[in-house]
Amino acid sequence: MICRMSLLFLFCILLISFNVYSEEITCEIDKDTTLIKSGESVISKIETTGAISCMVAGENIFVARGGSGVDIYKVTAEKKVERISTLTLPNEAIGFRLDGENISVITATFSYVGIKKNTDGSFSTISVARNIFGQKAGFVVSAAKEEKIGQQKVSQETKRIQGKVIEVTPGYAIIDLGAKDGIEKNMRIEILSMEQKKTYNIKTQAYEMMPSMESTAVSPVVQVSEDRCMIRIGRGNRAEVGDIALLTEKPLSETLYSPSYEKNLHRIYGRISPFVGINTLTVGSLVSVMYDYTFSIPLKIEGGLRNAGILFSKSNTSPFQLDLIPSYNTDLFEVGLGGGYSYSGHELKRNFTFLQKVRLGAIDGTNFTMWNSFIYQEKHSSWFSFDMAGSESGSQIKNVGDPCTPNKDREYEFAWNGFDIEASTPVSKSVNLFTHWAYSQAGWFMGEIGIKNFVKGNDGDGTIIIPVSIGGAAVVDYKGKKTPVLVCNPDTKKLEYETDWTDEGFGGPIVSIGIDYRWK
């Protein structure tokens, strides 16, 4: 009996243990809180101010908290989380490296500091495993020395002049390094991203959140104070608060002709192109207002009012094109298919449209962009042939409103509706030269050449670009006039006079101005 009870007790213990550990323990940084999860359920929320990254190894959770060191927690069998150690380091803790059963802390000076588990279950540091970079140009080398960390010692042979990004404004970043650190104007600073990204560890066969350490800019120092400096962030370069800043001798990374485009970015852009009609008493304008959003994946959504023509004449014609187009989008290439609606003073040129878009080159660098538009419209020719109801084909008909039978059903087709082409290339760090041409059967035409002025920012968050140009534009005024020719309306199946459409163009020279604003 006692034996059976013992076996039952052991079975229950094994079952409980299986249920506790069958779900994987993971961690996630959410601002100043570390979330501990069992499967999809959050089992604990720990306040970890300044936390940068975390890692799970066995029953322990390691949290890197920058200058506050490393906090180590233990998950009990009851899924309770207890802090068991806090390690102080000579430099900021920014991440972890797991090599088999060996755990190392990655510091802001790019050294690996080893961690060992003591017999009492606590943890302490051991000597630096190795320096990631080694001794290179742009480093400040000090004599080898021993720095005591708790009861352990860390051998620190190499230090690199490094700081942090503490403020970002459009086109510039402020670094917490200044004249006291040996920083001078025109020196170069490299920015390493601290953005947390999931990285697959082939040894643990699991994804871990780690700082990407991607080099996002090599920029010149433009201003220096005693304890701070300002760098200019060029086109295609990025910097965020908290990123690491390193003195470097690498070449500047700004590229004018093929800059990368920032992700997760909103953009609104448009222009107005007024004109006075030559040899007429008309005033008109072409207006565009567009919006797009670039996702972190290669996807962009773009839409808005493109090339709306406004003509103040006897009929006050206002043709326009509404567009919505998703596209596969990369820094140097974009292709998209979408749809829209075209409105015209000509009733047969009003309908839904099919759109194509192709861009070759960088948006803010050298590029060629083309939109093609195709309209779904009726073939009006089917209206011209008919049979008189109840009479022989070809009978003479003279009365409007008499019943009739069309010889053909209403027919539709895709017809080419127009294009919109732009080419652009940089001529300086703050100016692009561009030319733009557009035409639509809905009733407008324009051509212009001008410059885009980067008045604020470097093409990322907070950027403001003002395009100005000169050229010519015209808006077409369509007028319908009834003729003596009778046709059979396929909808009403009654006779009516044919409408003869005439067009008259009004146009003249234009001076355009616009805006291109971007934000996150």
DSSP 8-class letter at 252: P
The predicted pLDDT at position 468 comes to 98
Res. 90: pLDDT tops 60:
yes
Q: Please report, rounded to a whole number, the percentage of residues in the chain having pLDDT higher than 70.
A: 80
pLDDT tens, residue by residue, 52-75: 888 888 888 999 888 788 999 988
pLDDT band for 352, please (50, 70, 90 cuts).
very high
Decide if 157 contacts 151 (C-beta within 8 A).
no
User: Higher-confidence residue: 330 or 497?
Assistant: 330
For residues 239 and 217, the answer to whether their CB atoms sit within 8 Å is: yes
Q: What is the pLDDT of residue 151?
A: 31
The larger pLDDT score, comparing residue 79 to residue 200, is at 79
Kindly report whether the global pTM for this prediction surpasses the value 0.85. Answer: no
pLDDT of residue 2: 45
pLDDT class of 156 with cuts at 50, 70, 90: very low
461 or 89, which is more confident?
A: 461
Q: Which of the pair, 396 or 492, is modelled with greater confidence? A: 492
Beta strands in 92-228 (DSSP E): 93-99, 102-107, 111-117, 123-131, 139-149, 152-160, 162-169, 172-175, 188-192, 196-201, 206-211, 215-224
Across all residues in the chain, what is the average pLDDT?
Answer: 81
Phi and psi at residue 4, in whole multiples of 5°? -65, -40
Least confident of 25-34, 154-163, 322-331, 499-508: 154-163
Give the residue, 388 or 67, on which the prediction is more confident: 67
Fold exhibited by the domain 26-157 = Methylamine Dehydrogenase; Chain H (2.130.10)
Question: Where exactly are the structural domains of the chain?
Answer: 26-157, 161-254, 265-519
**Hunting for tokens 């419209």 — which residue is that?**
377
For the segment 278-299, the average pLDDT, to the nearest whole number, is: 92
pLDDT value, residue 155: 33
Q: Which residues contact 80 (CB under 8 A, 6 or more apart)?
A: 44
For residue 481, name the pLDDT band (cuts at 50, 70, 90): low
Q: What is the mean pLDDT of residues 75-98?
A: 82
pLDDT category of residue 175 using cuts at 50, 70 and 90: very high
Q: For 349, which DSSP code? A: G
pLDDT the model gives residue 161:
78
Q: Class assignment of domain 161-254?
A: mainly beta
- When comparing pLDDT for 385 and 203, which is higher? 203
87: CB partners within 8 A, 6+ apart:
69, 70, 72, 105, 115, 123, 124, 125, 149, 150
Q: What is the mean pLDDT of residues 151-171?
A: 64
Distance CA 173, CA 228 (A): 10
Q: What is the average per-residue pLDDT within 264-283?
A: 91
Side chain identity, residue 190: E
Mean pLDDT of 8-31: 59
For residue 151 the two structure tokens come to 């009861």
Q: What is the pLDDT of residue 409?
A: 67
Q: Which whole-number Å values give the CA distances from 42 to 39, 123, 209, in the listed order?
A: 8, 25, 17
* Contact indicator for 201, 221 with CB cutoff of 8 Å: no
Q: What is the pLDDT of residue 101?
A: 67
Beta carbons of 332 and 322 less than 8 angstroms apart: no
Place of tokens 């005024």: 477
| Predicted local confidence at residue 76, as pLDDT | 85
Residue 357 has pLDDT above 50, yes or no: yes
Question: Which one-letter amino acid corresponds to residue 419?
Answer: F
DSSP bridge partners of 222: none
Report pLDDT for 80: 85
Lowest pLDDT segment from 365-374, 425-434, 488-497: 488-497
Q: How many other β-carbons are positioned within 10 Å of the β-carbon of residue 89?
A: 22
For residue range 186-236, what is the model confidence (pLDDT) as tens digits? 999 999 998 888 777 666 677 877 788 889 999 999 999 999 999 999 999
| Tokens, residue 43 | 């089992």
Query: What pLDDT score was predicted for residue 158?
Result: 32
Please measure the distance between the N-terminal and C-terminal CA atoms of the chain and give it in whole angstroms.
71
CA distance 243 to 166: 8
User: What Cα–Cα distance (Å) separates residue 400 from each residue in 389, 488, 496, 498?
Assistant: 13, 10, 5, 11
Share of the chain above pLDDT 90, in %: 42
Selected residue with higher pLDDT from 179 and 104: 179
Residue 97 confidence (pLDDT) above 80: no
Task: Determine if residue 58 is left, alpha or beta; phi over 0 gives left, psi from -120 to 50 gives alpha, anything else beta.
Answer: left
pLDDT above 80 (res 313)? no
| Range scoring the smallest mean pLDDT among 169-173, 379-383, 416-420 | 379-383
Q: What Rg do the C-alpha atoms of the chain give, in angstroms?
A: 35
| Residue 311, strand partner residues | 284
Closest listed residue to residue 66, CA positions, set 75, 74, 82, 54 = 54
Q: What single-letter DSSP state applies at residue 236?
A: T
Evaluate whether the domain defined by 265-519 bears CATH number 2.40.160.40. yes
Query: In the predicted model, is pLDDT for residue 157 greater than 60?
Result: no
Query: If pLDDT is split at 50, 70 and 90, which confidence band does 130 have?
Result: very low
pLDDT tier at 278 (50, 70, 90 boundaries)? Answer: confident
- Kindly indicate the confidence band of residue 295, based on its pLDDT and cuts at 50, 70 and 90: very high
Q: How far apart are CA 63 and CA 52, in angstroms?
A: 8
